[in-house]
Structure 1
Amino acid sequence: MINFSNKKSNISSEVLFKMVWVSSFLAMIFVLPPLGLFLGIYFLTGELLIGAVIGFGVHFVILAFSGRISKFVTKLVS
């Protein structure tokens, strides 16, 4: 059975605002470069598979450094 605690925490609007901006920046950093590479390779060469492999590769390399990127973006927004 699921037990939901009745704890209510008050989150300030400043913390919520920073959380939304950091999450948005991280989403753009993780998605836009691999998507740009994928679409660029696909439209320039017509090779779907090569574009997909390079795009996924760049995406996972970026994900490997996600902790450092998150800390940097958090410092930048703060």
Structure 2
Amino acid sequence: MRIYDMRDAKVNLSRLIDEAIDAREPFVIVEAGKPIVRVAPIDMPEPAPQSWIGFMKGQIHVPVDFDSMGRDVIRTLFEGNR
């Protein structure tokens, strides 16, 4: 995605809009290094949001005894030594 600072965008806005329409590619205008607006052709579909569900599938191993790990320590912390 192309990025233009506010000064360049003010001077060349018509040309930038024409290029965005022709190339069917949005551009971003920044001010003081921070993005302030994204300009895209109106008939261009919005990007689909990415799903985070399952993004780490197969990368984490959960121990079989996960639900009972540290049971005695936790009981002692809550109940004290009885």
* Shared fold per TM-score greater than 0.5: no
- State the TM-score, normalized to the length of structure 1: 0.24
Bigger Rg, structure 1 or 2:
2
Which structure is higher in helix share? 1
By relative contact order (CA 8 Å, sep 6+), the higher-ranking structure is 1
Which structure is higher in strand share? 2
- State the TM-score, normalized to the length of structure 2: 0.23
